[in-house]
Amino acid sequence: MITLTEIIDLYRNRGQSQYGGEAVSQLEHALQCATLAEEAGKSSSLIAASLLHDLGHLVHHLGEEPALQGIDDRHEDRAVPVLETLFPAAVTTPIRLHVAAKRYLCAVEDSYWASLSHASKRSLELQGGVFTPEAAKAFIQQSYAEDAVELRRWDDLAKVAELKTPDLDHFLPILLDACGNEVLP
């Protein structure tokens, strides 16, 4: 079972890797995403989910950019078993659904696909492509699907080179609150 300290260390030690063909590192992407959630006044659960949503990219050994080799790393599923011993469904479910949320938004919003980065459009195909209208309807009826859609929008925006954000330490109390602890395990 992983501890919160070990999760933070993963970001400190492996977070410098590039974020899937974008102009930011994994750590910068995570911090930008969490900052957007915090600025939107969201719960500690959704801020924590935003910070940790791509943890799955840090726990596999498929190289930095498996999508370039045509491999879907299934990072949204890899993160959940790691996190669910520490965090409730309010954190892990939006993470598990954040890739499906892209497939959903492509299906229901005309302008969304065009707004995606080149790397996101490429990975969309590996991830199963745009949802059919039926699949989109089924998706949004799931618990925490609305949270996953919000997370997805911050995820798409959290790719700004050189943007200043609060650091990991700033988010520690929020992570502790989200997992119901008062001290760092």
Q: For residues 54 and 150, which CB has a smaller minimum distance to Fe ion in the complex?
A: 54
- Burial category of 132 from C-beta neighbours within 10 Å (exposed 0-12, middle 13-18, buried 19 and up): exposed
Distance in Å, CB of 29 to Fe ion, minimum: 6
Which residues lie below 8 Å from residue 32, measured CB to CB, with a gap of 6+?
24, 154, 157, 158, 159, 160, 163, 165
Q: For residues 38 and 54, which CB has a smaller minimum distance to Fe ion in the complex?
A: 54
76 binds Fe ion (CB under 5 A): no
Binding residues for Fe ion, rule CB under 5 A, total: 2
Which of the stretches 44-52, 88-96, 115-123, 155-163 binds Fe ion when contact is defined by CB under 5 A? Answer: 155-163
Distance in Å, CB of 177 to Fe ion, minimum: 22
DSSP 8-state assignment for residue 18:
B
The runs of H, that is alpha helices, within the chain are 4-14, 26-39, 44-52, 55-58, 75-83, 89-108, 112-115, 118-126, 133-140, 145-157, 168-179
Which of the stretches 37-45, 75-83, 153-161, 170-178 binds Fe ion when contact is defined by CB under 5 A? Answer: 153-161
Q: Say what angle helices 133-140 and 145-157 make with each other, to 10 degrees.
A: 110
Distance in Å, CB of 133 to Fe ion, minimum: 26
150 binds Fe ion (CB under 5 A): no
Distance in Å, CB of 82 to Fe ion, minimum: 16
155 binds Fe ion (CB under 5 A): yes
Q: What is the contact mask toward Fe ion in residues 113 to 142, using x (rule: CB under 5 A)? A: ------------------------------
Q: CB-side exposure of 7: number of CA atoms within 13 Å?
A: 31
Distance in Å, CB of 155 to Fe ion, minimum: 4
CA distances from 114 to 104, 136, 148 (A): 14, 18, 20
Give contact residues for Fe ion (rule: CB under 5 A). Answer: 54, 155
